[in-house]
Amino acid sequence: MKSKLRVCLLALLLATCVPDAYAQTPDGSFGVYKASVDELISFIRSEISGDVYCVGDTTDVKSYTIRVPREEFLERAFAELKANGYAITEYGGKWFITRSSGLATRLPAGYFDERKPSAADTALQKYLTGETTVMTFQNKVYEIGDPDAARKTGRATLTGYVRDVSSGEPLAGVSVYLEDGSTFAQTDGYGFYKMTLPVGAVRLGFSGYSLEDIKLDLQVYGNGSLDVLMKEKVFSLKGAVITSESMSSHRTPQMGIEKVRINTIKAVPMVFGETDALKVVMTLPGVKSVGEASSGFNVRGGATDQNLILFNGGTIYSPNHMFGILSAFNPDVINDVELYKSSIPVQYGGRISSVLEVSSRDGNSRKIQGSLGLGLLTSRLHLEGPIVKDRTTFILGGRTTYSNWIFRLLPENSSYAGGKASFQDVNLGLSHKVNERNSIHAYGYFSRDKFSFSNDTTYRYRNINGSLKWHSVISDRLSLTASAGYDSYHYGIEDKFNDHAAYTLNTSVDQAWAKAHFKSSLSDAHTLEYGVSGTWYDLNPGSYHPYGELSIVEPADLAHERALEAAIYASDTWRLNEHLSLEAGLRWSQFLRPGESRFRGGPEIRLSGKYSFNDVTSVKAGFNTMHQYIHRISNSINVTPTDSWRLTSDRIAPQTGWQAAAGFYRTLFDNTVDISLEGYYKHVKHYVDYKSGAVLVMNPDLADDLVETENRAYGVELMARKSVGKLNGWVSYTYSRSRLREMEDRGVGTINGGAWYSAPHDKPHDVKVVANYRFTHRYSISANLDYATGRPVTVPVGRYWHNGGMKLVYSERNGHRIPDYFRLDLALIIEPSHYLRQLTHLSFTIGCYNVTGRKNPYSIYYTSDGQNVQGHMLSVFATQIPYVNFNLKF
């Protein structure tokens, strides 16, 4: 704003406002004759007692002739100026004459927000922030296309990028919509949007979470592009109404999509105060986990291996550190997480339940920034900035830990006591804007974990991901995202408990993948997406080798499993009219193992439809089918790094499943509260379970020890979400069931006698509240509440004396439930300064995890000391965990 004032004053100094062509004529009329604009303004200045400020415009060669009675002169002069594109504002006896169109080409659209001026705002502030009607750039008309080649009717395609005004980062997930609601688009991960508009005058809205809304007037002549810069909402002012997230459910036929941005993630109190994206995902309805300290999650009754976890496109097989206390995603570099739990976009496949897309930010394109963090468990370093300003940026983040101290606090039976753990992770992102239509992105990720529960056994695992993406706008109606990458997950154990039997065991999953994804706007009614993808898997199911000189272990290597999973897909989003949209997609996936001629694969259907009764009420329904060719083999309910992955083979069938879902969506209270009710039914076949006594490690005939189960899950999810205002957050209630049954009756030994039994994450009732209340700009509190029915566990039904010891009888699987889970976390966040130009900002968070100190059980189990049987309950975080975090922003 100051800069604009300077422009104005500078213009005033330079203006040669010499009044040489004016007169008071004998007939009493008064005026100027063929005066330049500067002369006219000088004349005006002489006629007005107050100061007149103007912006000179050397391109204005028009001459002004005004001849009116003196008392009408000013009115007439202003009318002339206005007619020639000038704006005139009066404040406190001062007059400001500016030419908006001259500035508009230089400053970004939407630089200024559209908030309603509050009573406290002075007129000067209004002027300086450009909020008066004449000065608002949002009220400027932007011309799209070539006016000379203007079409009279029909539609035109508008494309462009939406970026952050200060950092130049692309903004993903911004809603772009016609004000009448007839057309809607959303920016992708590159901030790119594309939509078809009717030719003529239209009003286009842009809104995104925690961004100030923008409304632009467009005069559409033909195809064109418009880049838009948006700015983050400043909380000190009465907020703009943020409608994107709440309204988006009424615009897309897809359902069951949850998106959480990093600033929301950071506001949710978490154990030890460590910001954790995956733990926030677990606060969403329909997502459950078996307990605390578990990064495996279950979406709508599905198993933990049925989630495809993508980090910048690469698959993460072990998305956690320290066996689940922390997730593997560094909060400094991630932008948002998006979970698809029902309508899985046709470009994704290969997992039955869900897709979790974690994307990292692009680096700041304007200046070098960084941060250094010191937490209870981790320390972090992050740097970002331009390599070539506004073209090439980088972002680099790393974390490490010094958490061994925590293990001394943990109980013996938690498998943690006496343990040691360390991890490191590094993220690198590079992005390069080749030109307006092409950008290239490169991502690298490396994480390494090492832990031990005793001196004799050490576990290690690591993830390596690298990928390259090319995003290209081929034409106004067609864009392409091509990407390729390499993902690697390696896991190993060193066991030297007995020198003579000491061994190392290594398993790994390596995969190389490539994808090409096209998005095409056939017409304003049809948006077509299509593409191909392929993944080459190379799994090492186990290498067992001697460790040390004395070991007599026989080296053994199981044969690698290799396969190609290829898919071709297409989908069409068809907007029949402003009420009804349909999306239909077909994905054909094919799984080929070298040396096997057997055909595996088939079509996957993705269908969804939306009917909007009006702007705030919609219903949707969806149906999809999925295939999964890679399976996690585990005999523990938690996701452990020791789980091994196996591919579909002659003996292990692909998992197949379908889900049908329907939902009702309504936005209430002036677009501030969004309520949704979704119900689903899901059926999965060929889910891999294991037989009693199965040997899962180094078993060349593993398939003999596995059984196939079917899973049926159903539930309803009720959610109210408020993204705006002092109080924001969400409240959800879920009722859901997930039951398993062995597909084949093997007679004696069939799990649960062949009857349905509860999945380990079958927790029917579930209430989750995530809320943030901002008292003032500086003080806010966050609360996180989690209630769930206790999870099912297998408990002994009896005990017996056998060969000198007391043993336990287990029968029905998951037949008992542990006590219900309840936890409340609170955090007070104090932002000490709201002066935006201050270089550093010190804020701090005081929080407490598990405020009520409830001893939430993780498991109950029984041990026998040979003579007696004793029941135990293990509670991982059995008390309040207070923390204080200091955050220095710069």
Partner 1 sequence: MEKKRRHSLVFALAAAMLATACVYDYNPQIDGEGGFMIVSGDIVLGEQFTISLSNSWSLVDTNDTSYERMRDLYSSKMHIEDSRGGRYESINASGGGMTEYGNVATFDMSGADLSLEYRLVIENPRGTYASEWETALPPGQIDSLSYRISDDRSTVSINVSSHADGSDGLYRWTVSEDWEYHSDFYTDRFFIPAGGYYYGERCDVDMIATYRNGDNLYFCWSKGVRPETMIASTDMLSENRVVDHQLYTLGCYDERVSVLYSAKVTQARLSREAYDYYMVQERNSSDVGGLFSPEPSELRGNVRNLDDPSEKVLGYVSVLQTVSERLFIDNARTRFYKRRSQPIPPPDTLAIDSWRMAYMSGKLPTMPILDPFTGEETGYFEWYPARCVDCRYGSGGKDKPDFWPNDDI
Please report, as residue ranges, which positions from 557 to 616 form the binding site for partner 1 (by CB under 8 A).
none
Applying CB under 8 A, does 420 fall inside the site for partner 1? no
Q: C-beta of 889: minimal distance to partner 1 in Å?
A: 6
Applying CB under 8 A, does 700 fall inside the site for partner 1? no
Q: C-beta of 379: minimal distance to partner 1 in Å?
A: 8
Q: Is 18 helix (H, G, I), strand (E, B) or coil?
A: coil
Q: Is 272 helix (H, G, I), strand (E, B) or coil?
A: helix
Angle between helices 70-83 and 37-47 (to 10 degrees): 140
- Pick from 257, 376, 514, 731: which binds partner 1 (CB under 8 A)? 376
Sorted by sequence, the CB contacts under 8 Å of residue 300 that are 6+ apart come out as 256, 286, 341, 342, 353, 354, 659, 680, 682, 713, 715, 736
Measured CA to CA, the distance from residue 653 to residue 304 in angstroms comes to 18
Stretch that binds partner 1, among 467-475, 480-488, 595-603, 858-866 (CB under 8 A): 858-866
Applying CB under 8 A, does 498 fall inside the site for partner 1? yes
Applying CB under 8 A, does 60 fall inside the site for partner 1? no
Applying CB under 8 A, does 370 fall inside the site for partner 1? yes
- Pick from 46, 65, 475, 879: which binds partner 1 (CB under 8 A)? 879
- Within 739-778, the residues that bind partner 1 by CB under 8 A are 748-749, 751, 760
- Pick from 71, 116, 552, 594: which binds partner 1 (CB under 8 A)? 552
Measured CA to CA, the distance from residue 634 to residue 628 in angstroms comes to 17
Sorted by sequence, the CB contacts under 8 Å of residue 509 that are 6+ apart come out as 317, 487, 488, 489, 537, 538, 539, 540, 630, 645
Q: C-beta of 501: minimal distance to partner 1 in Å?
A: 7
Q: C-beta of 677: minimal distance to partner 1 in Å?
A: 34
Measured CA to CA, the distance from residue 393 to residue 378 in angstroms comes to 26
Is the Cβ of residue 110 or residue 222 nearer to partner 1 in the bound state? 110
- Within 247-276, the residues that bind partner 1 by CB under 8 A are 263, 266, 272-274
- Pick from 50, 411, 603, 832: which binds partner 1 (CB under 8 A)? 411
Q: Where are the beta strands (DSSP E) in 330-391?
A: 334-340, 354-360, 369-374, 378-388
Instruction: Supply the DSSP symbol for 629.
Output: -
Cβ–Cβ under 8 Å, residues 79 and 97: no
Q: C-beta of 278: minimal distance to partner 1 in Å?
A: 16
Is the Cβ of residue 414 or residue 523 nearer to partner 1 in the bound state? 414
Whose structure tokens read 């705030």? 616
Is the Cβ of residue 79 or residue 556 nearer to partner 1 in the bound state? 556
Neighbouring C-alpha atoms within 13 Å toward the C-beta of 39: 17
Cβ–Cβ under 8 Å, residues 87 and 135: yes
Q: C-beta of 228: minimal distance to partner 1 in Å?
A: 15
Q: Which amino acid is at 629?
A: Y
Cβ–Cβ under 8 Å, residues 542 and 561: no
- Pick from 364, 452, 571, 723: which binds partner 1 (CB under 8 A)? 364
- Pick from 635, 658, 725, 735: which binds partner 1 (CB under 8 A)? 635
Count of chain residues binding partner 1 (CB under 8 A): 125
Q: Bridge partners of 74?
A: none
Measured CA to CA, the distance from residue 492 to residue 508 in angstroms comes to 9
Q: C-beta of 231: minimal distance to partner 1 in Å?
A: 6
Applying CB under 8 A, does 53 fall inside the site for partner 1? no
Applying CB under 8 A, does 67 fall inside the site for partner 1? no
- Pick from 58, 101, 413, 614: which binds partner 1 (CB under 8 A)? 413
Applying CB under 8 A, does 451 fall inside the site for partner 1? no
Applying CB under 8 A, does 865 fall inside the site for partner 1? yes
Sorted by sequence, the CB contacts under 8 Å of residue 498 that are 6+ apart come out as none
Q: Bridge partners of 291?
A: none
Stretch that binds partner 1, among 65-73, 74-82, 340-348, 807-815 (CB under 8 A): 807-815
Stretch that binds partner 1, among 420-428, 491-499, 561-569, 769-777 (CB under 8 A): 491-499
Measured CA to CA, the distance from residue 289 to residue 638 in angstroms comes to 9
- Pick from 100, 182, 472, 875: which binds partner 1 (CB under 8 A)? 875
Is the Cβ of residue 434 or residue 797 nearer to partner 1 in the bound state? 797
Is the Cβ of residue 5 or residue 576 nearer to partner 1 in the bound state? 5
- Pick from 134, 484, 501, 826: which binds partner 1 (CB under 8 A)? 501
Applying CB under 8 A, does 808 fall inside the site for partner 1? yes
Measured CA to CA, the distance from residue 87 to residue 104 in angstroms comes to 13
Applying CB under 8 A, does 781 fall inside the site for partner 1? no
Is the Cβ of residue 68 or residue 107 nearer to partner 1 in the bound state? 107
> In this structure, what are the phi and psi dihedrals at residue 3, rounded to the nearest 5 degrees?
-65, -35
**201 CB neighbour count, 10 Å cutoff:** 10
- Within 815-834, the residues that bind partner 1 by CB under 8 A are 816
Q: Is 406 helix (H, G, I), strand (E, B) or coil?
A: helix
Closest C-alpha to 335, from 266, 404, 420, 242: 266
Sorted by sequence, the CB contacts under 8 Å of residue 573 that are 6+ apart come out as 253, 526, 527, 528, 529, 581, 582, 583
Q: Which amino acid is at 139?
A: N
> In this structure, what are the phi and psi dihedrals at residue 322, rounded to the nearest 5 degrees?
50, 50
Measured CA to CA, the distance from residue 738 to residue 762 in angstroms comes to 5
Measured CA to CA, the distance from residue 776 to residue 654 in angstroms comes to 54
Applying CB under 8 A, does 456 fall inside the site for partner 1? no
- Within 291-320, the residues that bind partner 1 by CB under 8 A are 293-294
- Pick from 636, 744, 755, 776: which binds partner 1 (CB under 8 A)? 636
Applying CB under 8 A, does 554 fall inside the site for partner 1? yes
> In this structure, what are the phi and psi dihedrals at residue 484, rounded to the nearest 5 degrees?
-150, 150
Stretch that binds partner 1, among 618-626, 718-726, 761-769, 794-802 (CB under 8 A): 794-802
Q: How far is CA 375 from the centre of its chain?
A: 24
Q: What angle (nearest 5°) sits at the alpha carbon of residue 310, between those of residues 309 and 313? A: 165
Q: C-beta of 428: minimal distance to partner 1 in Å?
A: 16
Applying CB under 8 A, does 400 fall inside the site for partner 1? no
Q: Bridge partners of 168?
A: none
Whose structure tokens read 């899962």? 696
Q: C-beta of 387: minimal distance to partner 1 in Å?
A: 18
- Pick from 245, 258, 332, 338: which binds partner 1 (CB under 8 A)? 332
Is the Cβ of residue 49 or residue 870 nearer to partner 1 in the bound state? 870
Applying CB under 8 A, does 665 fall inside the site for partner 1? no
Q: Is 19 helix (H, G, I), strand (E, B) or coil?
A: coil
- Pick from 219, 225, 520, 864: which binds partner 1 (CB under 8 A)? 864
- Pick from 84, 122, 811, 852: which binds partner 1 (CB under 8 A)? 811
DSSP 522-552: -SSSEEEEEEEEEEEEEEEEEEEEE-SSS--
- Pick from 497, 613, 669, 779: which binds partner 1 (CB under 8 A)? 497
Is the Cβ of residue 716 or residue 860 nearer to partner 1 in the bound state? 860
DSSP 269-304: --GGG---HHHHHTTSTTEE-SSSS----EETT--G
Is the Cβ of residue 81 or residue 165 nearer to partner 1 in the bound state? 165
Q: Bridge partners of 212?
A: none
- Pick from 799, 820, 822, 826: which binds partner 1 (CB under 8 A)? 799
Stretch that binds partner 1, among 91-99, 342-350, 424-432, 805-813 (CB under 8 A): 805-813
Closest C-alpha to 654, from 577, 586, 589: 589
Applying CB under 8 A, does 500 fall inside the site for partner 1? yes
x/- mask, partner 1, residues 119-148, rule CB under 8 A, reads: ------------------------------
Neighbouring C-alpha atoms within 13 Å toward the C-beta of 29: 9
Stretch that binds partner 1, among 25-33, 163-171, 589-597, 601-609 (CB under 8 A): 163-171
